[in-house]
Structure 1
Amino acid sequence: MAELEGFERARPRARLGVGAAIVVALGALAVTVGVGVWRGLGDPAPVSTEATVAISTPPAPTPAEIYVHVSGAVREPGLYLLSEGARVVDAVGAAGGFAKDAEPGAINLARGVADGEQLVVPVAGEAPPAAAAPGGPAGGLVDLNTADAAALEELPGIGPALAARILAWREENGSFAAVDDLMAVSGIGPAVLEGIRDLATV
């Protein structure tokens, strides 16, 4: 009987020891988890440097260009390359401005100029020339890039043979970039070119 009483008194201690062990184990687990979470918060997330995207501004579009033949009472007559949308004032400025004997009031400086146009600045007291249509017949400019054989033959010094050579050159090489390119056509020399320079355009 005494042995049984000793056993009963010992059971609460044993139970207390097991419970304490469980509490200690749970506390250790909680500490371990807490340390892990703290370390995770303290470490910065890795930053990838592999996917670096370069942002660039696209280049501005280049404005189109046109050829305008400026002649008459200007300081430097000739063929000039202007930006599309240019006006008569721009063409005259490219040609060095008005000559001393020019009649500026005879032309509209604000008018836009077209590709292949011939701008003639009249001399003081001279009537302004009628607008010439590029590639037109006699009385206008002959467009070397669009004229047929008949229109080419209206140019001084250009007969059927040279007209055919101009058409053949154009077929093989494409458009003329300037009237002076006629020198590349067999049979056309400086004298012929000078005679048609002010009567042709491209």
Structure 2
Amino acid sequence: MAETQPALLPETRSRLEAIFATFAARGDESYGEAVSQIEHAVQSAEIAEAAGAPDSLIAAALLHDIGHMVHRDAGDAFRRGRDDAHERLGEKYLAGLFPLSVTRPIALHVAAKRCLVVTEPAYAAGLSAVSRRTLDLQGGPMSDAEVADFLADPHGADAIALRRIDEAAKVDGAGRGGVARFRPLLERLACR
């Protein structure tokens, strides 16, 4: 017999609808890569899913760049050479809706890039042009002390996994299935 989930609270349902509305309104925008925001999000979630990642990491992969879409002037910030702090904005936007296993890797995925370029030189060489440019805007490579602090975070390993997914999910023509198929997963993870 299938386990029945408790119904979502109206506020939770409303917040989930706002996420899907954000994808509908801004998902076709580019952030400098060959793919749109929605293609990147779906590819990221599909990569995590194919790797057998837990639901929380699949959700984090889908939502990791939501901060770009809720930021009023993300494109302008990028063009002007400013960091839009999308990782912090995304964490704040999703806080209270999802558990830390979803929101903390999102908050740390930029720090993971800054860590990986120090700890794995081959990773740095494989960054896209946009990721190299934003790395500088986001603080550049970490210091040794920052690396130690990052690696001590209980969500650091998931953030590194998310960062690797993020970099791989930039294939033109992939990830066009849409975010709707991930609705049941997000509903399962949403804090009730």
TM-score, with structure 1 as normaliser: 0.21
Greater share of residues in strand: 1
TM-score, with structure 2 as normaliser: 0.22
Q: Flag the structure with more relative contact order, 1 or 2, with Cα contacts below 8 A and sequence separation at least 6.
A: 2
